[in-house]
Amino acid sequence: MQALVLKPRVRKDIKSKVDRLLLELGNPEPPLRLEEVRELLELDLSFFSGESDGLLNVAFSRLKRAGKQIIKRPTLLRDAVKRFDLRALYLPDRKRILIDDEVPKPKHRWLEAHEIGHDILPWHGDMMLGDDDITPTPSVREKIETEANYAAGSLLFMTDRFKHECKDFEPTIKSAQVLKKRYENTFTTTLWRMIEYMGEDNPMFGLIGQHPSDYANDKPNFRHLIPSSSFNEMFEFPSIEHMTTTIMSYCRRGRGPLGEKKVVLKGRDGSRHEFYMETFFNGYDALTLGRYRKKLPTSILMPKLF
Cα dist. 37→6, 22, 186, 191 in Å? 24, 9, 19, 23
Higher-scoring residue by pLDDT: 90, 218: 90
pLDDT of residue 219: 61
CATH top-level class of 160-295: alpha beta
What gap in Å lies between CA 158 and CA 262, rounded to an integer?
33
Domain layout of the chain by residue ranges: 8-156, 160-295
CA distances from 66 to 63, 69, 70 (A): 10, 9, 9
**What's the pLDDT band for 180 if we cut at 50, 70, 90?**
very high
pLDDT at 58 over 90: no
To 10 degrees, what angle do helices 138-156 and 108-120 make?
A: 110
Across the range 124-133, mean pLDDT stands at 55
- Considering the entire predicted model, what is its pTM? 0.77
Mean pLDDT over the full length of the chain: 84
Q: The domain 8-156: what is its CATH number?
A: 1.10.10.2910
